[in-house]
Structure 1
Amino acid sequence: MRTFCPEEYPISLYVNGEELATYQLTNNDLIDWTYGHLFTEGIIDQAEDVVEISLLEGKIYVQLGGDVEVTPMLKRKKYITAGCGNGVTFFSMTDVKKLPKIQKSNRQMPLTYLLKKRHEFAKASPMYNATGGMHGACIVEENGEITVREDIGRHNAVDKIIGAALQRKLDPKTLILLTTGRISYEMLAKTARFGFEIVGSRTAATKQAVQLAKFLGIEVVGYIRGKVAVVYTNNGNVINDLKAISKV
């Protein structure tokens, strides 16, 4: 029986002196989240755009390089995301369609491999295992090594793992992204912005996310549980080596 409750805190993000927003976050790996969120929202293009990050009493202060402007971003229309505390994104579905399409590679991953890594991911999620109420995101590297980040919100967890990968200068073409959360259009936008070719979840993808994934060339796999999964796209990057599989 789990006796610990998941934690969340209101944390305000300031960029070059401008308040971007206040977010409900789990108070861990906040540096990773900051890099990831700024990148997935199009405010920075690389980790080197960040000059300094300071954490102080529920506030994150970021100083960006001189060539990076925040004010135009703040003037853009904000979109309330689905679920997870009604997060905010500056990317509309039209904006996402303008992101570069994924250049198709010859990489092919068996579904059995994704299921194996999803199992490893679950075992390597201490906050979920303690509370039963956390989301997680995981990158799988070419050598099979996994890195996990957790948060109360699925968007935040993905931002954290992207921030970690960004700081390590990992090549997105060599990575697989796994998440515990539903893949909605804004989650797919984060995937596309970083350049992941394959993304999988233990739950569903929305119709809009699948449409965008097909347009951008991203392979999406859902319901990765036990010995089954659902392949939503047909880009050829995932091999169906399971008998009990639904292909949509």
Structure 2
Amino acid sequence: MKLTTNRNIFKYTENSRTEREDEIAVEYPLTVVLNGDEFATLVCSPSDLEDLVIGFLASEGVIRFPDEIKTISLDEKGGFAYVEITHQKPAGAEFYSKRFIGSCCGKSRQSFYFYNDVKTAKTVLTRAQITVAQCFRLMRLLQQHSSEFKNTGGVHNAALCDPHSILIARTDIGRHNTLDKIYGHWLRNRIPLHDKLIVFSGRISSEVLLKTAKIGVGIILSKSAPTDLALQLADQLGITVVGFIRGDQCNVYTHPERITETIAPD
């Protein structure tokens, strides 16, 4: 399915009006039917849908391993993903929407979680490091990667990288969907994560930070800003957050020991 569509528009400047064809990002609703029951409708870009569904179910705590999925089939025209899993999904709406208040890592500050986040988010203990120059380079590579972003400006991008290159890149209208697509691909392929990081185009919200923790990556780079709650969670979950990577400048917000000025020895 196409990620973009074309539409005739009027483009104005201060002194002129022209009619032209513009490229627009496609917004696609995908309803996940889990063991015969409608579970959720994801509004997404129509690409890498199987990765998206698997990553979403893992992020929600419905599955932990891909072999818990018995079957998965996509009706792309109708907008449905039919999934059969080996067990019953946790009963009760509270599993997916109940707030859980609790101290994390023995600290007195109280953190805000969904109940399923408590079950699936994990502290990241990686010793991976990356240089400041590598941060700049990876962000440039991400920005160059997506033709959909260049043509529409209406999508987000995320990539799983090592310090030198992009390994997996995903595009979506929803920034959180890009991470679920990466999570789903990782679950199916089990790429070692000890030296990996995520490069991201959007704002680092608490939801984005928690998805990073669920994947198990210890560094996230973004061209945009983090939120206060995201940084509280990053402090507690052991994740290095680098934001406002623009040109040759960036801000390191948490766990700065992973960001170095020179390449670390092998």
Answering whether residue 202 of structure 2 is matched by residue 181 of structure 1, we say yes
Residue 50 of structure 2, aligned match among 11, 26, 31: 31
2:214 and 2:145 mapped to 1: Cα distance? Answer: 26
Answering whether residue 121 of structure 2 is matched by residue 102 of structure 1, we say no
2:74–2:80 CA contact under 8 A, matched in 1: yes
**Taking structure 1 as reference, are residues 210 and 73 closer, same or farther at Cα in structure 2, changes over 3 Å only?**
farther
Measure how far apart 1:76 and its partner are. Answer: 2.5
Query: Normalised by the size of structure 2, how large is the TM-score?
Result: 0.79
Report the counterpart of residue 44 of structure 1 in structure 2. Answer: 63
Query: Aligned Cα RMSD in Å?
Result: 2.2
Report the counterpart of residue 202 of structure 1 in structure 2. Answer: 223
Cα deviations by residue, 1:166-225 (Å, 9 ceiling, x for unpaired):
211112223111111111111111111111111111101100000100111111111112
Measure how far apart 1:69 and its partner are. Answer: 2.5
**Taking structure 1 as reference, are residues 2 and 76 closer, same or farther at Cα in structure 2, changes over 3 Å only?**
farther
Report the counterpart of residue 79 of structure 2 in structure 1. Answer: 58
One-letter identity of the residue aligned with 1:54: S
- Greater RCO, 1 or 2 (C-alpha within 8 Å, sep 6+): 1
Measure how far apart 1:240 and its partner are. Answer: 4.5
Measure how far apart 1:71 and its partner are. Answer: 3.9
The alignment partner of 1:21 has SS state of strand
1:20 and 1:118 mapped to 2: Cα distance? Answer: 35
1:15–1:61 CA contact under 8 A, matched in 2: yes
Alignment of 1:66-105 (within 5 A): 68-72=87-91, 74-78=93-97, 93=113, 95=115, 96=117, 99-105=121-127
Report the counterpart of residue 183 of structure 2 in structure 1. Answer: 162
Runs of at least 4 residues of structure 1 off by over 4 A?
Answer: 94-98
1:117 and 1:145 mapped to 2: Cα distance? Answer: 7
Q: Which runs of 5+ in 1 are unaligned?
A: 80-91, 242-248
2:130–2:163 CA contact under 8 A, matched in 1: no
**Taking structure 1 as reference, are residues 46 and 73 closer, same or farther at Cα in structure 2, changes over 3 Å only?**
farther
Q: Percent identity, please.
A: 32
Report the counterpart of residue 83 of structure 1 in structure 2. Answer: none
1:97–1:212 CA contact under 8 A, matched in 2: no
Larger relative strand fraction: 2
2:30–2:79 CA contact under 8 A, matched in 1: yes
Cα deviations by residue, 1:131-179 (Å, 9 ceiling, x for unpaired):
1110111110366343210011101111111211221111222311111
Aligned length, in residue pairs: 227
Q: Which moved more, 1:143-152 or 1:95-104?
A: 95-104
**Taking structure 1 as reference, are residues 77 and 108 closer, same or farther at Cα in structure 2, changes over 3 Å only?**
closer
Answering whether residue 32 of structure 2 is matched by residue 13 of structure 1, we say yes
Q: Which has the larger radius of gyration?
A: 2
Q: Which runs of 5+ in 2 are unaligned?
A: 1-19, 99-111
Report the counterpart of residue 148 of structure 1 in structure 2. Answer: 169
One-letter identity of the residue aligned with 1:100: K
